[in-house]
Structure 1
Amino acid sequence: MPAPGAGAGVHWPDDFGTRFTIFVDTEEEFDWGAPLSADADGTRHMAALPPVHARFAAAGAALTYLADYPIATSPLAVEVLREVVKDGRSAIGTQLHPWVNPPHEEEVNGFNSFTGNLPLALQRAKLAALTDAVTRIAGRRPLVYRAGRYGIGPDTAALLAELGYRIDSSMRSAYDYSDEGGPDFSAVPNHAFHLGELVELPFTTVFTGRLRRGGARLHRNLAHLPRGIGIASRLGLLSRVALTPEDMPLDEAREAVRVAVGEGLRLLNFAFHSPSVEPGHTPYVRNEADLAAFLRWWEEVLALLDKLGVRSASVDEIIAAACRPA
């Protein structure tokens, strides 16, 4: 993915301030260490979501649930989502996992798990099926989308615009999935920018440490050295920190938030996977101790954001601010 062109950046109005958003990859349960399967469609973890959502609501944080097809067609998940968005600020968007999203015409494999690699007609059909399913449960057409596995392609923006989307969040700043057949986001910045008719909100990645100005290029070079990335991180030279509790230590996340705010990032984009709200479904939350650490991570990070004056932004607030003159 190329860097956005000159003038593509979103010019946030002054009264928008510095804000944060939390997108939840709301998806089926599957074995992260096994090959992908079209039969993996469990959604029982959604029963554990309401008390977790209540913690965010109490802190004034809006959540955007990016529902994929198994979620959008699960009676349990639908009931839970309809209930939690009654807080008045949270919303339901879409996330496309092509291997569990009809029509099923492609071979299920790693390359085809990146939606942007599929034939255009099949991409359109899968996205339309997902959009219709989420429209039925949300009572309105979804406005925000994320490609599963960040599998955006050259046709994604135009397809989303056709279906009335306003926001895409399929890019993960400073990450490279090209070895797996996916996109390379090494040149993608953290700041929001216009992508055709859409606003692109990359999943925020912050480099911390004394060599953080080296960014993605230095991090990639360190990967070619034995234990280079780990040594650089332990020495406080360079760490790549995504804004998620999943595999990102609390102290590093807090420092990343401070760096992002200090460097003037106007919208910090956080994320997590919905199955992490119940132990046993993701590598990040295997037991009750992991869940307690997951919840504490959010408690501490939300407290820091509040201390720094960084407020939550809902999808509607982002669209209103990004689409009006600065």
Structure 2
Amino acid sequence: MQKPAFLISIDTEGDNLWVNTKDISTQNAKFLDRFQQLCEKYGFKPTYLTNYEMAISPDYVAFAKDVIARNQGEVGMHLHAWNSPPLQPLTDDDDRYKPYLIEYPQTIMREKIAVMTDLLEDIFDVKMLSHRAGRWAFNEYYAQLLHEFGYQVDCSVTPYVDWSGVKGKPDGNGGTDYSQFPDGAYFMDLNDISKVGTSSLLQIPMSTRLKYGSLHNSFKQLYDGLRGKKRPPSTRWLRPKGNNVEEMKFVAQQCLDEGKNYVEFMLHSSEFMPGGSPTFKDDTSIEQLYRDLEELFEWLSQCTQGMTMAEFYQYKLMG
């Protein structure tokens, strides 16, 4: 029996977008090689889900072309709707509010996906097969467009997480509620993306697991309701946040114990650069990140095998 896959998804985007919304820089491209070397040490193959500013960054393009040429990773698409052409203002300050792609008119959604897909394919001379939505916001029409443009994989679903309380445009409905979505890979119903269907678009949800049991969560939600608050259950992610290697291993072990055929890790490209994110602010925190990654990857190398998203698609097809 083959080992489950270890999938590494990197949201590849500008520096510290949590605070830097104008005049975006892409210095983090210079810090990706160290991470790539760590992945290759353990036989893992990242998927760099790439947005507009990185696609036109010479440093990143040179790095990613080398990864592709050596078959040591994949480039996919990541779309930040508010600054990805064609630009059409949706609020009085899109850089501040960062509206979701699903909040734009359908004609603009299509154009933005077409432009980004063509740009990436022209630059890297490979078919774009994998995708993640900006700010995790996804819906049926979005899925239908990805299918139309020939994508095989989406990895926007975050099981148990409800983003509806996180606004894009101020008068909008917020992000996508994934609280009732599957927590394993499935071919999507393009008319109801929360259900298994017969399309060729494979959803690879993030590896997230509930922090507490169902009884605890029910009590907590009842208590919050009495206080007039609505909060989703607490979750653990297979995602570094500083000194959390044991938590990441716990999430991965849960997935493997459940018989899942993959575990999926994510991070932003800017988080590999000191000061590129609120979490990893300096050299000391970056060194701790790499100690955690070394321990996590060494552990996972014993029980998983590295694949890109597109490779996992073929693995899934073969059963």
Q: Which residue of 2 aligns with 1:212?
A: 213
Deviation of the 1:317 alpha carbon = 2.3
Q: Quick one: which amino acid aligns to residue 300 of structure 2?
A: L
Deviation of the 1:219 alpha carbon = 6.6
Q: Within 5 A, what are the aligned runs for 1:1-326?
A: 15-33=1-19, 37=21, 39-107=22-90, 108=94, 113-180=99-166, 181-195=174-188, 196-208=199-211, 211-213=212-214, 240-246=235-241, 249-307=244-302, 309-324=303-318, 326=319
The C-alpha deviation readout for 1:99-141, integer Å capped at 9, x for no partner, is 1100111321677622112111111111111111110222112
The C-alpha deviation readout for 1:287-315, integer Å capped at 9, x for no partner, is 111101111121111122123x2111223
Secondary structure in 1 matching 2:76: strand
Separation in 2 of the partners of 1:306 and 1:222?
42
Separation in 1 of the partners of 2:217 and 2:134?
22
Q: Quick one: which amino acid aligns to residue 300 of structure 1?
A: E
The C-alpha deviation readout for 1:169-217, integer Å capped at 9, x for no partner, is 1111111110121101111232001113300001110235xx4355976
Q: Quick one: which amino acid aligns to residue 69 of structure 1?
A: Y
Separation in 2 of the partners of 1:219 and 1:92?
41
Cα 1:221–1:189, aligned 2, differ >3 Å: closer, same or farther? farther
Secondary structure in 1 matching 2:140: coil
Separation in 2 of the partners of 1:142 and 1:117?
24
Deviation of the 1:264 alpha carbon = 1.4
Q: Quick one: which amino acid aligns to residue 101 of structure 2?
A: T
Cα 1:150–1:239, aligned 2, differ >3 Å: closer, same or farther? closer
The C-alpha deviation readout for 1:78-108, integer Å capped at 9, x for no partner, is 1121123334131100000011100111321
The C-alpha deviation readout for 1:34-83, integer Å capped at 9, x for no partner, is 6xx4x343111101111221111111110000000111112222112112
Decide whether the 8 Å contact of 1:28 with 1:70 is kept in 2: yes
Deviation of the 1:33 alpha carbon = 4.0
Decide whether the 8 Å contact of 1:115 with 1:148 is kept in 2: yes
Gaps in structure 1 of 5+ consecutive residues:
1-14, 229-237
Separation in 2 of the partners of 1:293 and 1:221?
38
Separation in 1 of the partners of 2:145 and 2:12?
21
Deviation of the 1:260 alpha carbon = 1.6
Decide whether the 8 Å contact of 2:242 with 2:285 is kept in 1: no
Q: Quick one: which amino acid aligns to residue 120 of structure 1?
A: Q
Decide whether the 8 Å contact of 2:46 with 2:74 is kept in 1: yes
Cα 1:290–1:141, aligned 2, differ >3 Å: closer, same or farther? same
TM-score by length of 2: 0.85
Separation in 1 of the partners of 2:226 and 2:280?
30
Separation in 2 of the partners of 1:102 and 1:306?
40
TM-score by length of 1: 0.83
Separation in 2 of the partners of 1:183 and 1:89?
32
Deviation of the 1:273 alpha carbon = 0.2
Secondary structure in 1 matching 2:88: coil
User: Bigger CA drift: 310-319 or 286-295?
Assistant: 310-319
Secondary structure in 2 matching 1:149: helix
User: Bigger CA drift: 101-110 or 184-193?
Assistant: 101-110
Separation in 1 of the partners of 2:46 and 2:87?
30
The C-alpha deviation readout for 1:133-185, integer Å capped at 9, x for no partner, is 11022211210000010011220111001111000011111111101211011
Decide whether the 8 Å contact of 1:28 with 1:40 is kept in 2: no
Decide whether the 8 Å contact of 1:116 with 1:123 is kept in 2: yes
Deviation of the 1:18 alpha carbon = 1.4
Cα 1:220–1:269, aligned 2, differ >3 Å: closer, same or farther? farther
Cα 1:56–1:111, aligned 2, differ >3 Å: closer, same or farther? same
Separation in 1 of the partners of 2:214 and 2:296?
24
Cα 1:290–1:214, aligned 2, differ >3 Å: closer, same or farther? farther
User: What is the identity percentage for the equivalent residue pairs of Structure 1 and Structure 2?
Assistant: 25
Decide whether the 8 Å contact of 2:51 with 2:77 is kept in 1: yes
